[in-house]
Homo-oligomer: A and B are copies of this chain.
Amino acid sequence: MYSEKVMDHFRNPRNVGRIENADGVGQVGNPICGDVMTIYLKIEDGIIKDAKFETFGCGAAIATSSIATELIKGKTLQEALKVTNRVVVEALDGLPKNKIHCSVLAEEAIKKAIEDYLQRK
């Protein structure tokens, strides 16, 4: 049912936790299951130096956030905004259809965190 990459990022999620004094924070909720996801970004000279996430969500939410935070680290804000849910799901070798609503949390939280950063500036 789940690809090896999904199970790897579910069992050993990367970048779990929060960043104190983050430059941008994005929090989104999943209307279907009620879960909440928060993404923290450390940004220097327009580059995402660090990214972490916290969630109580399911395996799909954890796996997508894990790989999404990996994908945006080292990228510019413009590049990071191109890391859409489709890109993330492809990087995971796919997800079952009924878990797509969980996987969009990461994309939405990253966008919100970048918006938060731009508003603070």
Chain A residues engaging chain B, CB cutoff 8 angstroms: 1-2, 10, 32-36, 55-61, 96, 98-99, 102
> What 10 pairs between A and B have smallest CB-CB spacing?
A34-B98, A56-B59, A58-B58, A33-B33, A57-B58, A35-B58, A34-B99, A56-B58, A32-B33, A33-B58
Chain B CB within 10 Å — which of A2, A32, A33, A98 has the most? A33
**With the chains together, A2 CA to B99 CA distance in Å?**
23
* New A-B pairs, 13, CB < 8 Å, besides A32-B33, A33-B33, A56-B58: A10-B56, A32-B32, A34-B98, A34-B99, A35-B58, A35-B59, A55-B59, A56-B59, A56-B60, A57-B58, A57-B59, A58-B58, A58-B61
